[in-house]
Structure 1
Amino acid sequence: MKNKELRKYWLLEEQRSFKGWDFSYIKNRTVEEPLPWDYDKIIRQHLKTNHIVLDMGTGGGEYLLTLKHPYTKTYVTEGYPPNVALCNEKLTPLGITVKQVFGDNKLPFKDGMFDIIINRHESFDINEVHRLLKPKGLFVTQQVGGLNNKELSKFLIKGFREIISSGYTLENTQVLIKSKGFSILKAEEYFPRVKFLDVGSLVYLAKIIEWEFPNFSVEKCFEQLCALHSTIEKQGFVESKQHRFIIVSQKIKA
């Protein structure tokens, strides 16, 4: 394709709508290295039928529904308005309680309400998590670390300034969680690689994950996108280093 055609195509990808937390649109255009742990398996090992569970930042409830947990014992939070509307449409009629939230430090639930709180790639205030858990309650969280796509972001965006600190790591998060009255049952960190098979898939992702690619746009980053396109033409992909960690912790102090 010529540059004019590439620009037109990438602008269409940039404008494509997104809802829930569903990246199936680019599933066949990226290749992600698997994590050494299985978040779903870990959740199922700890989640009991009688548990009252909170899924923080549920997106559109895509993963939550696969658990098939009793709906009247299931609660979710979500902050992104389009996803809140999606949750109210999909989850509320089932009997799942949906709460829109506007920050991490004040969640609309009673003290000691939950047996288990699960969280995949959602921010959290550990003080609030502690408040909401019953004694010996569990907090299971998989997080995107501060080094995720950092090298690619720096290449794409001139004058890049990080929004998520590079110091957001397993070690530092463990220290924080332990200091707030939790014991650590499991902790693991990994840096998987992801391959983008075409620049359009990267454009789609970068526009959505704006906290990793601040001020990204096709127009602002066109020269760099063309350079990546040339790399893909030569080797079939461009690669980025991701950053993930998982912590399973238990409330030990009231």
Structure 2
Amino acid sequence: MNLEELRRKWESEEAHAFKGWDFSYIKDRWNSEDLPWDYSMIVLSFLKNKDKLLDMGTGGGEFVLTLKHPYALTYVTEAYPPNVKLCKEKLEPLGITVKQVYEDYKLPLKDKSFDIVINRHESFDYCEVNRILKKGGYFITQQVGGKNNYDLSCSLIDNFKPQFPNHTLENNVDNLVKHGFKILKSDEAFTPIYFYDVGALVYFAKIIQWEFPGFSVDTCFDNLRRLQKIIDVKKVIQGTEHRFLIVAQKI
């Protein structure tokens, strides 16, 4: 395949529509190793049938639906307008309450409303989480750490500097303790992520804009060509994911 054919192929991947938080379009073209914990099982171990539940940054509601929690007791927040629309179409008819958010520090939710707040890969404000939780309530979060995909970002973006270098397990634990929580569990992991063709990485990088700032096939074409040479030889491009987990209880 010549350079112009590669460019057209990658531009097609770049332009492909993305909905919710669903990467099924590149299924079998990428993979990542399992984390040493099971976020879903941890949530379910704390979640009781009568609890009022909030899922922060629900995306398209994919995860919260797997919990099978009573819909009338389930609330979700989402900031990205296309995902808000998707949630209103998919979740509201079930009886789940959908709230659009614009700022982490100003959630459209009442004080001391929830028994459990879960958050998978969404930003949050420590004071707001404390405000909306009942006393003794749980905050369970799995976060994408500040070093996530650092090696891949450097390979695509010249002079790359991470946007959230201080987003670490240690800093988040410290801040939660300062804001009225006790830590029940915490863990951190660095695990490999694999891409088996450059087009899959193009699709991924276009979506995760905060890790690949300014990315486009046009601006990063030379770097994409270098990655293609790696794929030609090794059949894979490898990066490193950074995740951490915190289970905290409001004192």
TM range (shorter): over 0.9
| TM-score, normalised with respect to structure 2 | 0.98
The AA in structure 2 aligned to 1:75 is Y
2:228 aligns with 229
- Tell me the CA shift for residue 136 of structure 1: 0.4
| Stretch moving more, 203-212 or 145-154 | 145-154
Please list, as runs of the form range in 1=range in 2, the aligned pairs for 1:97-136 lying within 5 A after superposition. 97-136=97-136
8 A contact 2:190–2:242 mirrored in 1: yes
2:242 aligns with 243
Distance 2:73 2:39 in 1: 21
Q: Deviations over 1:52-79 (max 9, x none)?
A: 0000000010111111110110000000
Distance 2:84 2:183 in 1: 32
Please list, as runs of the form range in 1=range in 2, the aligned pairs for 1:49-198 lying within 5 A after superposition. 49-163=49-163, 165-198=164-197
2:11 aligns with 11
8 A contact 2:193–2:238 mirrored in 1: yes
Distance 1:112 1:8 in 2: 53
- 1:33 pairs with 2:29: no
Q: How many residues are matched? A: 251
8 A contact 2:113–2:132 mirrored in 1: yes
Distance 1:175 1:58 in 2: 25
Instruction: Name the SS for the 1:111 alignment partner.
Output: coil
Distance 2:122 2:150 in 1: 18
1:21 aligns with 21
| TM-score, normalised with respect to structure 1 | 0.97
Q: Deviations over 1:13-57 (max 9, x none)?
A: 000000101111112111201100000110110110000000000
8 A contact 2:152–2:239 mirrored in 1: yes
Unmatched tracts of structure 1, length 5 or more: none
Distance 1:88 1:5 in 2: 40
Distance 1:66 1:157 in 2: 36
8 A contact 2:54–2:116 mirrored in 1: yes
Distance 2:26 2:242 in 1: 20
- Tell me the CA shift for residue 208 of structure 1: 0.4
8 A contact 2:192–2:239 mirrored in 1: yes
Distance 2:27 2:42 in 1: 24
8 A contact 2:180–2:250 mirrored in 1: yes
Distance 2:151 2:30 in 1: 17
Output the aligned Cα RMSD.
0.8
The AA in structure 2 aligned to 1:80 is Y
- Tell me the CA shift for residue 149 of structure 1: 0.8
Please list, as runs of the form range in 1=range in 2, the aligned pairs for 1:191-210 lying within 5 A after superposition. 191-210=190-209
- Tell me the CA shift for residue 161 of structure 1: 3.3
- Tell me the CA shift for residue 150 of structure 1: 1.1
Unmatched tracts of structure 2, length 5 or more: none
The AA in structure 2 aligned to 1:142 is Q
8 A contact 2:147–2:162 mirrored in 1: no
Distance 1:110 1:30 in 2: 41
